[in-house]
Amino acid sequence: MIATVPTEKKPDEVPPAAAADGEEDEEMEEEGAPEAQGAGGEGKKKKKKKKPKKKSKLEQTEPPTIGLTKLFPDGNFPEGELQEYKDDNSYRTNSEEKRYDERMAMEDPEVTYNNIRRAAEVHRQVRKYARKTIRPGMRMLEIADLIENGVRNLVEENGLESGIGFPTGLSLNHCAAHYSPNSGDTIVLGEKDVLKVDIGVHVKGRICDSAFTLTFDPTYEKLLEAVKAATDTGVREAGIDVRLGELAGYIQETMESYEVEVNGKVLPVKPIENLSGHTIAPYQIHGGKSVLLVKNDDPTKMEEGEYFAIETFGSTGRGKVIEQGEVSHYARKVDAPHVPLRLTSAKALLKSINKNFGTLPWCRRYLERAGESKYLLALNHLVSQGIVQDYPPLCDVRGSMTAQFEHTILLRPTRKEVVSRGDDY
């Protein structure tokens, strides 16, 4: 995700053993008793039938390498968790009118529920592997490769048709968001670190945005519990006609009900007041509406058909972030101005950005993967001209710890679908 503030290997071919359809041994079946007795006492039997060969179901490998269209050849991808609307909207579940609206939406290529679900299933499979594989001692670049190679393989990366939705966030400790390792990064995950893992997958510009936090030190388990509970509250209370300012209040109340004991000192868990969830639009990670984490007077309502990332951030520090550190995240602005570029290298770089990313966020490693080199002068020029937006890391006070959890929800006409929910969380 790109939070709101008011050299990699190409996928290998699928191993033949993983991709081949298995077959059961042929079995012979004898039917009936002897029809007649011959002079020599030999019985005459019916011909034996072969049982039909059965194909075993294709299963994902570890690490994940098999494209999702091979695992779901009928093109129907799993729904997320379904939640019914509450109160005045409870009628929607059984409304014939709303069911009709939903059927029409399913058939509309601009709505593309199935593209969203394909991206979400990729996310579930990749993050499940990542959650059980990431361990202290791994380099940040190694973790990024593990995740991004999995996404590219499973989503069957194909230019702007399908691929990574935004740079993999691997923010550590007091850094809450917008850190992804640049080439040459030497940071290693430590035993006492708190790691936020934020993964984006897109299919035809429909982005699944979901995040989780890992810690290997029991000290900060309550911090993670608080932020996960706040995200769950946001998901549960979100719905058509819900006001964004009130939803923020529910999130805040949940998170602030937790405390963390660090070195004998009890610290409150604070929602980070200048980060937020957001709507997601096609090829645009921020669609315009924001779900803040502290109660406010925003009367804006959630609407039918909208697609929201409900993400919450908690901190043991001041509960407010500032920009700090080396930039890795960038995106071409949706409303970028048409300005004359005096640097030939900037023109060439912009052409590459438009071809490879459009308005999707990217990082410097992705530019290098696309073949760009010695691009920093051109990149800084595009930023200074207001064509490209840079997103520096967002950090609370040093010494504090931050956590993040996030799910993507689809406000369908009949019910709410938590598209990114899986059995891991």
Q: What Å distances lie between residue 187 and 8, 190, 193, 321, CA to CA?
A: 17, 9, 11, 21
* Integer Cα distance of 413 and 91 in angstroms: 11
Determine how many CB atoms are found less than 10 A away from the CB of residue 182.
15
Q: What is the mean pLDDT of residues 266-287?
A: 97
Q: Which of 55-59, 90-94, 213-217, 348-352 has the lowest mean pLDDT?
A: 55-59
Q: Which residue, among 418, 421, 326, has the nearest Cα to 365 in the 3D structure?
A: 326
Give yes or no for residue 37 having a pLDDT over 70: no
Q: What is the mean pLDDT of residues 215-232?
A: 97
**pLDDT band, residue 31 (cuts 50/70/90):** very low
Please give the pLDDT value at position 45: 54
* Integer Cα distance of 68 and 155 in angstroms: 6
Q: Which of 77-81, 100-104, 127-131, 214-218 has the lowest mean pLDDT?
A: 100-104
Catalytic residues: 198, 209, 278, 286, 311, 406
Residue 75 burial (C-beta neighbours within 10 Å; 0-12, 13-18, 19+)? exposed
Give yes or no for residue 55 having a pLDDT over 80: no
What are the two backbone dihedrals, phi and then psi, of residue 324, each rounded to the nearest 5 degrees?
-165, 130
Please give the pLDDT value at position 52: 61
* Integer Cα distance of 8 and 141 in angstroms: 9
Give yes or no for residue 11 having a pLDDT over 60: no
Domains of the chain: 68-326+393-418 (3.90.230.10), 329-391 (1.10.10.10)
Give yes or no for residue 210 having a pLDDT over 50: yes
What average pLDDT does the structure give for the chain? 90
Q: What is the mean pLDDT of residues 40-62?
A: 66
Tell whether 84 is in a known binding site.
Answer: no
* Integer Cα distance of 217 and 24 in angstroms: 47
Percent of the chain at pLDDT > 90 equals 84
Q: What is the mean pLDDT of residues 149-170?
A: 98
Please give the pLDDT value at position 109: 78
Tell whether 198 is in a known binding site.
Answer: yes
Give yes or no for residue 41 having a pLDDT over 90: no
Please give the pLDDT value at position 14: 38
pLDDT tens figures, 383-400: 999 999 999 999 999 999
CB 227 within 8 A of CB 211: no
Residue 44 burial (C-beta neighbours within 10 Å; 0-12, 13-18, 19+)? exposed
Tell whether 253 is in a known binding site.
Answer: no
3-state SS record for the chain: CCCCCCCCCCCCCCCHHHHCCCECCCCEECCCCCCCECCCCCECCCCCEECCCCECCCCCCCCCCCCHHHHCCCCCCCCCEEECCCHHHHHHHHCHHHHHHHHHHHHCCCCCHHHHHHHHHHHHHHHHHHHHHCCCCCEHHHHHHHHHHHHHHHHCCECCCEEEEEEEECCECCEEECCCCCCCCCCECCCCCEEEEEEEEEECCEEEEEEEEEECCHHHHHHHHHHHHHHHHHHHHCCCCCEHHHHHHHHHHHHCCCEEEECCEEEECEECCCCEEEECECCECCCCCEEECCCCCCCCECCCCCEEEEEEEEECCCCCCEECCCCCEEEECCCCCCCCCCCHHHHHHHHHHHHHCCCCCEEHHHHHHCCCCCCHHHHHHHHHCCCEEEECCEECCCCCCEEEEEEEEEECCCCEEECCCCCCC
Tell whether 407 is in a known binding site.
Answer: no
pLDDT tens figures, 326-361: 999 999 999 999 999 999 999 999 999 999 999 999
Give yes or no for residue 3 having a pLDDT over 90: no
CB 294 within 8 A of CB 342: no
Question: Angle 380-382-385 (CA atoms, 0-180°, nearest 5)?
Answer: 110
Tell whether 148 is in a known binding site.
Answer: no
Tell whether 87 is in a known binding site.
Answer: no
CB 329 within 8 A of CB 338: no
pTM for the whole thing? Answer: 0.87
Q: Which residue, among 15, 7, 185, 211, has the nearest Cα to 123 in the 3D structure?
A: 211
Tell whether 108 is in a known binding site.
Answer: no
Sign of CA dihedral 145, 151, 156, 157: negative
CB 2 within 8 A of CB 331: yes
Q: What is the maximum alpha-carbon separation in the chain?
A: 103
Q: What is the mean pLDDT of residues 100-108?
A: 88
Task: Tell me the Ramachandran region of residue 230: left when phi exceeds 0, alpha when psi lies from -120 to 50, beta otherwise.
Answer: alpha
CB 321 within 8 A of CB 394: yes
Q: What is the mean pLDDT of residues 68-76?
A: 95
Between 49 and 117, name the one with better pLDDT. Answer: 117
Give yes or no for residue 33 having a pLDDT over 50: no
